């Protein structure tokens, strides 16, 4: 096979494979974004069981206060308690979900959020807006959250300067 024919065959093969791989990855990204956004919808309905079902059985969740919950069952239990009063009227909105794949069945996402209606006790920061880091894994064809870290956010500004 001459070099020109070999190059043409290689280019044709790449062009046939690449678009389908790109389409598949775009579909996966859409699915991950949908799960991230869905957590806001389920939170706002105060549905601890359905919210927790977005996570793996063995998930790790660090909430906005740094409380570390291990496993779907503990997450659901803690959310039920939170929805009973503190978050009873809260509304969570997820936006600006950015996804990066770590491999074909694992991705990391960052999502911005805003919240209204939380009744936080005195001395606790009121959750108004923040950033989530979510590690997704694909299990049985479904994207689930395996690890989650949440933090309050304030607009970024330059670090102060001053005397040493």
Rounded to 5 degrees, φ, ψ at 84 are -65, -30
Please tell me the predicted confidence (pLDDT) of residue 162.
Answer: 83
> CB–CB of 112/88 below 8 Å?
no
Domain positions in the chain: 3-152
Contacts of 17 (CB under 8 A, 6+ apart): none
- Its pTM surpasses 0.75: yes
* Residues forming a β-bridge with 139: 142
Please tell me the predicted confidence (pLDDT) of residue 126.
Answer: 80
**Pairwise CA distance, residues 158 & 88, whole Å:** 37
User: Which residues of the chain carry a pLDDT beneath 70?
Assistant: 1, 3-24
Structure tokens at 92: 């969570």
Fold category of 3-152 in CATH: Nuclear Transport Factor 2; Chain: A, (3.10.450)
């Amino acid at each position: 096979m001459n070099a020109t024919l070999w190059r043409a065959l290689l280019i044709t093969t790449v062009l046939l494979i690449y678009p389908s791989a790109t389409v598949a990855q775009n579909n996966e990204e859409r699915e991950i974004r949908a799960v991230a956004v869905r957590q806001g919808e389920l939170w706002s309905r105060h549905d601890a069981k359905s919210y927790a079902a977005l996570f793996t059985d063995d998930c790790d969740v660090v909430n906005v206060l740094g409380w570390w919950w291990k496993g779907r069952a503990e997450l659901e239990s803690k959310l039920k308690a939170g929805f009973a009063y503190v978050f009873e009227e809260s509304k969570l909105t997820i936006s600006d979900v950015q996804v990066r794949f770590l491999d074909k069945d694992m991705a990391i996402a960052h999502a911005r959020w805003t919240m209204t209606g939380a009744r936080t006790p005195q001395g606790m920061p009121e959750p108004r807006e923040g950033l989530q880091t979510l590690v997704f894994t694909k299990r049985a064809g479904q994207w689930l959250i395996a690890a989650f870290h949440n933090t309050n956010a304030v607009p970024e500004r330059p670090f102060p300067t001053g005397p040493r």
